[in-house]
Amino acid sequence: MRRRLAYDITRTAILLALALVLSILEAWLVPKGILPIPGFKLGFANIAILVTLYCVGRKEALLVAVLRSLLLLAFGGNIVGFVFSLLGGIAAWSTMCVLSDMPHVSIYGVSIGGAAAHGLGQILAALLLTRTVYVIGYLPYLVLLGSAAGGLIAYLTIPIVKALDHIGNEMIQ
């Protein structure tokens, strides 16, 4: 039990670092303006959060999502981006928790539903920050594109979860 705790803490910390690196890498690799909707992102960091949800646990996944937002703020982000990623992250996490419990829903459905909820959370943040209902006009496009990105993210996450399961099984033997 004790070793499990240390093992989980270590994996969560590594996955948090991975989430941060992926966020920064995405901002770096994907130039602003080539994506069709202002503010739309592919959400690479969700790879790390999805892996945490599948391989470690729910609480840890929420921890990774929230700490990622906080650390990005500390590493030179702005408060607006923080509110956006925090609300988006919490919305995505709760949706993914519900979906991962449902029968007949694979990692694809979980990731796609999470991405859609992420878009919804971001529009909520925009509503709060701008106090203008106009931003709702973005919602369907953001959610549709985000869901497509969510499918891609699930595809990229599968080999990582498989590898981590494999490592876990090796350790038992």
Partner 1 sequence: MSKRGGQSDISDSGRSGSAREKQLDNSKLPARNFSFRKGDFWVIGSIVLLCTIMIAGLAIYGQATRSRSRYVRITQNGRILMERDLQEFQDPVEFRIETDAGHMVIVISSEKVYVKESDCADKICVHAGDLTKIGDGAVCLPNRVVVQIVSGSGDAGSSNGEVDVVAK
State the residues that interact with partner 1 by CB under 8 A: 1-6, 8-9, 32-33, 38-39, 54, 57, 59, 78, 80, 84, 99, 102-109, 112-113, 116, 126, 129-135, 137, 139-141, 143-144, 147, 158, 161-162, 165, 168-169, 171-172
Measured from the CB of residue 34, what is the shortest distance to partner 1 in angstroms? 10
Measured from the CB of residue 136, what is the shortest distance to partner 1 in angstroms? 8
Measured from the CB of residue 104, what is the shortest distance to partner 1 in angstroms? 4
Distance (Å, whole) CA 5 – CA 102: 27
Identify the CA nearest to 43 among candidates 100, 101, 113, 128.
113
Q: Of 58 and 90, which has the nearer Cβ to partner 1?
A: 58
Distance (Å, whole) CA 30 – CA 28: 6
DSSP 39: T
CB 96 within 8 A of CB 53: yes
